[in-house]
Each structure stands twice: as structure tokens, then as C-alpha cells.
Structure 1
Amino acid sequence: MKETGVKSNAVGLETLGILEAKEVLWNLPPAALVEEAIKNAEGYLTDTGALMCDTGKFTGRSPKDRFIVKDERTADTVWWGDINIGFDPEKFDLLQKKMVDFLKDRKLYVRDAYAGAHPDYRLNLRIVNTQAWQNLFCHNMFLRLTPEELASHVPDFTIICVPEFLADPEVDGTRQSNFAIINFTLNTILIGGTGYAGEIKKGIFSVLNYMLPQEKNTLSMHCSANVGQDGDTAIFFGLSGTGKTTLSADPNRGLIGDDEHGWTDDSVFNFEGGCYAKVIDLTQEKEPQIWDAITFPAIVENTRFVPGTRTVDYTNKSVTENTRTAYPIDHIANAVEPSRAGIPQNIFFLTADAFGVLPPVSKLNTSQAMYHFISGYTAKVAGTEVGITEPQTTFSACFGAAFLPLHPTRYAEMLGRKMQESNVNVWLINTGWTGGPYGIGHRMKLSYTRAMITAALQGDLEQVAYTMHPIFQVAIPDSCPNVPADILNPRNTWADKDAYDAKALELAASFIKNFSKYADYASEEILAGAPHAAAIA
């Protein structure tokens, strides 16, 4: 087996049973990986120096094909169900052997890296790829080792990612030919049958979501985070379309990270070393930081060129609307190094409420924060997904249900404890509609939303008077600098007040219905954060 590149002196691939690969290329630098990708016909170089690649049949994650091995370690700890689907340990062993056999006489790209920008919470990684561009993705997205660290690197978790390997569902126990399977006892993730690199990233996120709360008393979070010049940390939770990336990207604040973080007793730290951003309809005017970041060795996925050029056409949706870019975090000019800061002073839950019910800014108490955290609410509007013709409520526990191995109440209770210990402010920010629902009202101006967040960060909302929302019971500020007072209470923006009340009751009922599946596990403190029950009756 021919091996080249810079490898660890501590442990090789023999522990995985990989002994007969044609060639193993260890920890190649980005330029060499780009050369390999182009030589292998995996992608094209764009005019900014980024590498354009296609992910094949799958242009997004496949949640129904993500499994966790159910064994003595996980049987009583994992939140089993539609999100965490059990997989037989013996089937895993047989499938891994088949994958290793499949790798005989193939060229492999191996990347050593780590997750967790805090030395006490890092997870050492090894990723084995058959495609050079995916190995470059891992270089961009995970934290990069120094030469000294690389020499003694021993992986805590290993990922074997082979898009060309197709499972036989009847024999291997998978649902179909593609799969992503986490084994917490063997510290291994197997990914096959899919070229979507996001499966690698989110696989490790799921691992940290399992290990950190249980083993390190650390809250793992699907959020972005930034820090002010005075060291004040802010966290932004929000589902797709709520403005999480846009609102956390503030030229006056340092970027800690855009997607995955841990909250320890004394800090917030980024899990990753890069950013994985959507680029559909990207423009330099709307997202200048992301636009400027897409240079070598960034990757753009499933995009297309302007005909006759090597310029990316970000409006092209012919492959998917889920076009993305992956780039090292230091491509963002104001990224902090290392990617961590102190405990947060402010937390923002972002929602794009298409029903025009929720206030544009409101303050939550501890119970409400835990309740809304578990709810993870936003609304999808027409055009966001095929088949959606009118607004639809969307709930995702902890703003990332697909990546939570533990029950959502575990994370919510930890959030509540940390809120009380650190006296953090929690704000609900509606970036959605005002003056009526989608189709009648209009989207909240971004400038107003930014002004509300700035006011919260600067403490300008500490001394103002508040009005309690009669149904959701959240505290609405009566005034906010640089924001018209008449838009702060959403009921006042509706011409038909009775219609607002009816829509508010309807949305509150949706919250309560969604929460019913968690209610048996929720504490009284969490349940106290629900919309006012008397208003629903």
C-alpha cells in the first residue's frame, strides 16, 4: 500500500482494517486536493479560485437514512424514534467490513482534524474519503492541526465516507442504498451511497450533541455566535430563512462561528473551522462577507456557470435550491481566533412568523425560553419548498431536531440552568410579517430588526416599559431606539383587530399541539412557558 503526504506517527489505518488500498494520500494541502479533484473530474475551478463540485443524486441530507447503532451504551440514552433510528450492531460490523473490502485497490484521501475550538472539549477526528473534493471539504469545515499536533494525532472518532459504495437494504439493514450510521461504542461513522458532504459535517455535530451534555456538562447548540468589542457574547438560534447568518454577520462584532457551538461554564466555543452557507441568489450587495469568502480553497456545491465563463451563476436552481459554499472561517475578515469567547449576555431566537402574530422583539423569562427553545418555531411561505402554497408552521426542537440524539428536554433544561447561572437575556425576534399575515401584511424591514438587536445588545431595552402579550405572555417593549413605536405591538399593526386575535389563538394552538409530544418529559417550569391556556380554551 503506497502512502504519501504527512501522517500521524501514532496510529494509521490498520485499526480500521484498511491494509490493501491502492494509494493513501495523507493530509494533502488544499492546492494538491484541488489538483486531485480536477484530475479526477470531480469539479471545475471558478474565476474566484473556488472549486465547483456536484454532490450527485443527493443534494441535501437524507434524514430517514441516518441511523444510530442501538447497543448497551445507547439503548437507554438516545431519544429513539423517527429522528434517531436504531441500527443493529452486528449489521454495522458486517457493513463496515464490506466497505473496507470495497476500498481495496482504491485511492484514498485521509484527513486528520478536530472539532471544538476549546482545548478541554476537542474531539480528534480522522476522515477517510474516496473523493478529493470531499477531503477538501473536511479541511475547510473542521479545525486544522498544527504540524506538531499532527505528528502525535490519535483520532477519537473516525468517519469512512464512500459515495460509490451502495448498500443492499435486504442484506445490510439499511432503508435504501445510501446511509449514514453513527456507532458511539466503536467511535465510527459510516457514510455511503451519497455524495452530499453535509452528512460528514452533521454526523460529527450529532456526535458532539450526544457526548458533550452527558460527559462534559456542556450545552451543544445549533446556532451562530458573535462577540462585541467589549467581550459581550451573543448567540443566534434560527431555522432556515429566519436571518440567522445575516443577523449574526455584523461588521462591528467578531464572528465566533455560524452554525455549531458549545456553552461551557466559562465560554462559548465553535465546533468548526469553517462555514457552510447557502448561496442561492447570493449577491455581493446582500451578503458581502459570504461573497468575498468564496475564494481558494472554498468549495461551491451544485452551482452552475454563467454560459461561456467560469463565473458562478448564483441564481441558477437547475440542480437544487440548496446550493452551498464551504470555506475556512478565516475567510471572514472579522472572525475571532481562536473561535471562542465568554459566556453569552444575550440570546436571540429568530423566527420568520408568516402569520404576523409574534412581536418583532420580545423578552422571554426562563420558562418561556425553555419552551420556545424546545418548540423551535418558524413558518414556511409559498415558494420555499415544492407544494407549499400558503404559510405553514414549522417546528424543530432546539432549532435542530435532526441532530439531537438526546431528548430535547435535556438540552432545554440545561439551557434553563445556564440562563439562571449567567443571568442572560433571551429575546424572541420575529423577522417575518407585520400588519397582517403573508399575502396581506409585509415583511419586517431588516433595518428595524438590526436596530432591535443592537438595542438589546447595548442594553437600551433594560430601562423601557413593557407590555405583556395576552396570549403568548412575552414582554413587548413599548419603545426601541430607531424603531417606530407603532410596530412593536403586532396587534396594533393589523387593521382588523379581531382577525389578529383569531390568528394569534390559531398559532398558539399550533404551539400547544406541537409541544404535546414533549409534555410527558417536560418539567413544570418548562410547561409554564406555554401560551396562556385560558386564552385557548
Structure 2
Amino acid sequence: MVNLKNLQSDSHEHSYTAKVLPTQTADEWNRNLIHDLEAFGLKNPGRVYRNLSVPTVVEHALARGEGQLADNGALVVRTGKYTGRSPKDRFIVDEPIIRDEIDWNQYNVPISSTHFERLYSKVLAYIQGRDLYIFDGYIGADPRYRYGVRIINELAWQNLFAHQLFLRPTADELVNHQVDFTVIAVPGLEGDPVTDGVHSEAFIVLHLTKKIVLIGGSHYAGEIKKSIFSMMNYFMTKQSVLPMHCAANLDRHGHTALFFGLSGTGKTTLSADPECRLIGDDEHGWSSEGIFNFEGGCYAKTIRLDPEREPQIWSALRFGSLLENVILDPETRIPDYDDSSLTENTRAAYPLRYIPNCSLFGMDSHPKTIMFLTADAFGVLPPIAKLTREQAMYHFLSGYTSKLAGTERGITVPQVTFSACFGQAFFPLSPLVYDEMLGERLRQHPDTRVYLVNTGWSGGPYGVGKRISLKHTRTMVSAALKGKLEEVNYQPHPIFQVLVPETVPGVPAKILNPQNTWGDPIAYEQQAIELARRFVENFQQFAVEREIIEAGPIVK
């Protein structure tokens, strides 16, 4: 029997609290919650708190010693050993019904049903007697493609994270909430590689048929977010929706734009444009009706955050926001966003509504412009280039970028990587499934413009060249969004074949051709050829149409 010493609930939009004592009769939704928990095998927990208000859950986190308040009001926590995702500890339960669908690889690692059940039993035993924080909400802003999520946490601060990142229900929606996906996050429970079929003490296990995620051994909250994203990346394709690892915004003319890219390439920064309405910063779907946000919040990198360069993110860091691994001054409690002593991957979580002029609707029309963001550590790609449909499909499959410091465990300097769909670690199916869906969308919407944007290095590789200035990148992106790049001349790059603009209003012409920024043209060509070879070698794994293959780099 669930211990109801203090079962509480408080929705975000309609502040209410229902305390149910053992001698009282629980109302209908409380009875449903109890039944649901027992059906899951979650018996004999301590106190159970459901959808607490932000002030209440922050109070709980502080009272439990889980974090501190910064001078801006944000709750600041530390995640210990795991300050980024741990992709080597992510598993998908291998079952006959899905076995032939899944793209088994270094990211989609199989684990047996037997090991899952053993871990599940350990989780249930661990939970007994412990207080639980439950967030019931949604993933998917479009009601036609929405799923109910239940996040069960042992830590109050992680429940705040769930509250701010996912879509929050109204009081009426909470009463009738139906659970599709369940995440149980118990970072205090460690896995055992000897008995549990895992690789370390950390485990992130997705059971696609049961729609359950188990997370243990890691306090990094990003695992909660990305596990639900992985679920959506599987189930959305069943409804002919292209799931995308991208940000999205809307300009004053009603034109939407998508920003694809791995962590640290600029999705959140570039999409948070004061001249545009932010739809979402990381996860979206593209249906036959248009695009829609999966989430209700943002998860931004804060390392070296500057109020002048990123004013919208800076202003979003206030009471109700969560800061991960940000160092505070011990006296003033002022955050030091330049301090990377714990990790380069310092993070902030906050609801979308903290961004001025955001789109709370979370849905809009088909994209007018698409940006593929890449942090090129070779320093040879142009800062912006236009792509044909075939080139777009080639670069979407390639997903070239550099993993930036801190976004994953062990990454301290940029590492060249090819991550299909600009986020292969989150996509359970073959990249070809998603690429074909993208190609079909571009065929259906021929006016959609696609650009490759290098937010990485210029004038030399990492360690020699300089990072392309955010000011110039913003100017180029703005020109593309406003259609100004339709009015300029282009030259195909001699190696990468992408179309390089000869001019961009407000940007020095010299930096547009990357070879001009290098002191040694021969060194540039050698470096460009080396990167082109890596593109070609990586692309050999894909069986696609000749037109797509020929849209890639030329290696003589």
C-alpha cells in the first residue's frame, strides 16, 4: 500500500495543494495515482509528491541539502562524477518485436529482457521507504502527436528539471492525465556490471515496448530529457512525423526556421533571436501540418555566458531556473559562468516562457529556412553555404561536427565526429529512415532553403585558427532568414561543392571564403582534402541514390 502520509500536488498554471492523510478518503485522481504506482510495482515508498509548484519543489530541494540559491534566484546543483551524458551506458532492451527495426550500434546497445527485469526489481526495492517526486505532463506540443509522460524522481531538484523542461498540464489535464512514457530516475542506485548487464555503475535503459526508462548511477539531468527524446524518435516515425534534433523560431513575417546541430554548436544561442519568437531550443517534429516543439523548456549551455552576446538566456536565469555545475561565489552567491573547474558543460534549465517573446503555442507552419550547424575543428568549411536538396540529404546523413568539451564524459578538446541526423546518439532507427523523411519533406516544400553554417574555426584548425565570431554568425544567419542571401551570387566550393556566397550584408567578404582566412593556401587545401576524405570514408556506410553520393565532397 502506498504511504499517503503526505501526497501532494500543485499544478503550474492553477496553484492548488491536496494533502491526503491516511484517515481521509483520497479523491479520484489520487486513487488513480496510487493504483498506477502499485501497478508499476512501486510499493511502500515514503511520501509521494505529485506536480508540486516551483516554489514548493525548490523549498524541498533546499531543505534536503540538494542545492543552493544563486543571487539571481536560480537553484544551483552539482551532478558529481557525471557532468554530461554517458552514451556508453545507454541501452535499449532487445526484444524480438523490435529487434529488426533498431539500428544496433555504439549508441543503441542491446540489453536483455532478463537484465532489464533484474534492474527493474532493484529499482523497486531501492525506492521502498524513500520519498518520491512525480511530474505528470506531456511531450509534444501538437495534441495530435502528444504523449503523456510521468517522471518519477528521488531528488527534488531533478523533479524541478522535469517540471521546467516538459509540457506542464493544467489542473483539468492533470486530473485526466494518461501516462504513455514513464521515467524512473534514481541516481543514488548504482548498477553492477557483473549481474546487471551494464558497463558501469551508471545505466540508462530504454524499454520501447513497455515505454519505460530506468536511470541510475548518474545525477546528470540531461539523461532524463534525452531518454524521452529517444522514445519520441522511435514512435514519431510510426505517425509519419520526422523527429528532429533542432531548435526552431518564427520571424515577424510568419516564417519558421530550424537549427540543427549537436550540443554546443549554437542551436540555443542562435535560435534565441530578439527579432524572432522562439518555438523551442532542441527537439521538434515535422508533420504534414507543420512543425511543433516536443518540450516546454530549454536546456542551455552556460559556460562563458555573456549578457551582451546572449541576453535572452541571461535574463531567463532567475527563480525557477536550474543551474547545473555552475560555480557560485561563496559570499555573494553570484554565478561565475567563466569557471569550468567542474566541467565545460555547465547547464541551465528553464521554461520556455522565461524567454521574452517566445511562442507558447509551440507549433507553426512548415520551415522556410533550415540551418545545419557544425563546429568545424578543421577550420576549412565556409561560415555559411547554401545546399541543394541532395547536398542537404548528404550533410544530414553525415552530421559532421566536433564534439565540444564537456558535452560527454571525457571530452576535453574538440573531437571530429560524424553523427548522423546531427544527433545519432538519440535516434533508435537507421539514419536512412530519417534522411528519407527529410528528403520527402524538402521535395514537398521546394521553397525551403537549406544552409550549412560553420560555428567552429576559421583561419586554421583548432589551436591555430580562431572561433568564428558570434556577431558575424548572427549576421549571416539573419541575412539567410530574411531572404537576403537569395539576392547574392554564389561560387561552388572546389572541394566540398557547397555554394559559397560572394557577399553577405554586414560581413567582411574575406571571411566568406575560408581559404582567404588562412595564411598558407596550400596548408588550407591539404586540410580541406583531409576533411573531405573523412566525409567520403564515413559516407561509405550508407546505401543511397547516386545523386546524394555525388553531392558530397570531391576527393581527387
- Please indicate the TM-score interval, normalised by the length of the shorter structure: over 0.9
Q: Which residue of 2 aligns with 1:282?
A: 305
User: Match for 1:340 among 351, 354, 363?
Assistant: 363
User: Match for 2:131 among 80, 84, 107?
Assistant: 107
The answer on whether the counterparts of 1:352 and 1:433 sit within 8 Å (CA) in structure 2 is yes
The answer on whether the counterparts of 2:381 and 2:514 sit within 8 Å (CA) in structure 1 is yes
Q: SS state of the match for residue 114, structure 1?
A: strand
The answer on whether the counterparts of 1:8 and 1:153 sit within 8 Å (CA) in structure 2 is no
Report runs of 4+ in structure 1 exceeding 4 Å deviation. Answer: 7-11, 380-392, 438-441
Q: Which residue of 2 aligns with 1:297?
A: 320
Per mean C-alpha deviation after superposition, the further-off stretch among 311-320 and 24-33 is: 311-320
User: Match for 1:484 among 499, 503, 508?
Assistant: 508
1:262 aligns with 2:285: yes
Change (3 A) 1:455 1:283: closer
Amino acid at match of 1:140: Q
Q: Which residue of 2 aligns with 1:473?
A: 497
The answer on whether the counterparts of 2:247 and 2:281 sit within 8 Å (CA) in structure 1 is yes
Q: Which residue of 1 aligns with 2:7?
A: 4
1:249 CA drift (Å): 1.5
Amino acid at match of 1:407: S
Separation of aligned partners in 2, 1:170 and 1:388: 27
The answer on whether the counterparts of 1:354 and 1:381 sit within 8 Å (CA) in structure 2 is no
Matches within 5 A, 1:296-375: 296-375=319-398
Separation of aligned partners in 1, 2:51 and 2:469: 46
Q: Which residue of 2 aligns with 1:161?
A: 185
Separation of aligned partners in 2, 1:43 and 1:96: 28
Separation of aligned partners in 1, 2:121 and 2:411: 43
Q: SS state of the match for residue 120, structure 1?
A: helix
1:508 CA drift (Å): 0.5
Change (3 A) 1:381 1:499: farther
Change (3 A) 1:32 1:441: closer
Question: TM-score, structure 1 length as denominator?
Answer: 0.94
Q: Which residue of 2 aligns with 1:132?
A: 156
Q: Which residue of 2 aligns with 1:81?
A: 105
Q: Which residue of 2 aligns with 1:117?
A: 141
The answer on whether the counterparts of 1:10 and 1:154 sit within 8 Å (CA) in structure 2 is no
Amino acid at match of 2:247: S
Amino acid at match of 2:386: K
Change (3 A) 1:231 1:95: same
Separation of aligned partners in 1, 2:467 and 2:193: 46
Change (3 A) 1:168 1:450: closer
User: Match for 2:227 among 174, 181, 203?
Assistant: 203
Amino acid at match of 2:401: T
Q: Which residue of 1 aligns with 2:552?
A: 530
Separation of aligned partners in 2, 1:128 and 1:390: 35
Q: SS state of the match for residue 190, structure 1?
A: strand
Per mean C-alpha deviation after superposition, the further-off stretch among 445-454 and 174-183 is: 445-454
Matches within 5 A, 1:244-259: 244-259=267-282
Q: Which residue of 2 aligns with 1:238?
A: 261
Q: SS state of the match for residue 150, structure 1?
A: helix
Q: SS state of the match for residue 462, structure 1?
A: helix
Question: TM-score, structure 2 length as denominator?
Answer: 0.91
Per mean C-alpha deviation after superposition, the further-off stretch among 456-465 and 357-366 is: 456-465
Change (3 A) 1:64 1:385: closer
Q: Which residue of 2 aligns with 1:40?
A: 64
Q: Which residue of 1 aligns with 2:205?
A: 181
Alpha-carbon deviations, 1:247-293, whole Å to 9, x = none?
21110100011111111112111111111111122232232211111
Q: Which residue of 2 aligns with 1:393?
A: 416
Q: SS state of the match for residue 252, structure 1?
A: coil
Amino acid at match of 1:335: C
Q: Which residue of 2 aligns with 1:142?
A: 166
The answer on whether the counterparts of 2:85 and 2:407 sit within 8 Å (CA) in structure 1 is no
Q: SS state of the match for residue 145, structure 2?
A: coil
The answer on whether the counterparts of 1:73 and 1:184 sit within 8 Å (CA) in structure 2 is no
Identity across the alignment (%): 51
The answer on whether the counterparts of 2:264 and 2:301 sit within 8 Å (CA) in structure 1 is no
For the aligned residue pairs, the C-alpha RMSD in angstroms reads: 2.2
Q: Which residue of 2 aligns with 1:62?
A: 86
1:405 CA drift (Å): 0.5
Q: Which residue of 2 aligns with 1:26?
A: 50
Separation of aligned partners in 1, 2:412 and 2:44: 54
User: Match for 2:95 among 62, 71, 92?
Assistant: 71
Give the gaps of 5 or more residues in structure 1.
none
Give the gaps of 5 or more residues in structure 2.
10-28
Change (3 A) 1:281 1:448: closer
Change (3 A) 1:496 1:47: closer
1:420 aligns with 2:420: no
Q: Which residue of 1 aligns with 2:118?
A: 94
